[in-house]
Structures are given as C-alpha cells and as structure tokens.
Amino acid sequence: MSIYSKPIPTILRELGLRLRHARLKANLTQQALADTASVSLKTVANAEDGQNVSLETLLWLLRGVGRLDDIESMLADDGPSPVELAKRQGKVRQRASGNRGKGGGGKSSSDDWQW
C-alpha cells in the first residue's frame, strides 16, 4: 500500500511505532529519551502513540535515539537533471512555474478554494 493512500493519522502511528522501536533498540527508557531530547515524558509518550508533535520535537527525538541522519535521506539533494541543466545554461532556478494547465499560472479561482 502506497504511503500516499494512507491517512495522516495512520502515518503518524507508524512513525510513533518506529520511534518506539528505535528507542528500545538504543536501550533507552522513555524518561531517558525525554531527558536527552529536552522534552517531557508526556511528549515522548505522545509521539510514540502517533499523536501529532512538532517537527522540531521530532528532530530532537530522532537525535536522542541516534537516528537524526535518517532525515538526510529524506532531504537528499538529487540536483537538476542533465536536461534541466542544459535549459538553465548555468542559471539557478529562482521560482516555481505553478500549474500552468489549471486556471492560468497556478492561480485558483475562489470557487475552487475549500477548507
């Protein structure tokens, strides 16, 4: 099943389980991780339960279990393709083009906007 088809709460629960597994693999109690990450015990428990925590908190927790380098692969800089490099002729891209096929230049009408 693709991660795109999973609801966000399901993904959060999976991340919580993986964080718990990493904590146990590092042989840390929840309190020890909380102390290392400078967060509360309740925050660690919430994260492991799949509750929403801030990105900053997640980074502190990952650092606490020695897995902060996992973020590196998520943010890997693939760089531009050879075709893109040829189009740019050495220039650095400054902005996105938007969705040109939908409503002119990526702007949506107020009729399309929803909560």
| pLDDT per residue as tens digits for the range 77-94 | 777 777 777 777 766 767
Question: Is it the case that residue 59 has pLDDT exceeding 90?
Answer: yes
List the one residue out of 38, 12, 27 whose CA is nearest residue 65. Answer: 27
How deeply is 5 buried, as exposed, middle or buried, from its count of CB atoms within 10 A (0-12, 13-18, 19+)?
Answer: exposed
Are the CB atoms for 62 and 70 separated by under 8 Å? Answer: yes
Alpha-carbon span 22 to 47, nearest angstrom: 12
Pull the structure tokens for residue 112: 């399309």
**pLDDT band with cut points at 50, 70 and 90 for residue 31:** very high
Q: How many helices (H) does the chain have, and how many strands (E)?
A: 6, 0
Question: Is it the case that residue 35 has pLDDT exceeding 80?
Answer: yes
- Enter the pTM of the model: 0.67
CB atoms within 10 A of CB 27: 7
In CATH, what class is 3-74?
mainly alpha
Are the CB atoms for 81 and 71 separated by under 8 Å? Answer: no
Q: What is the mean pLDDT of the chain?
A: 85
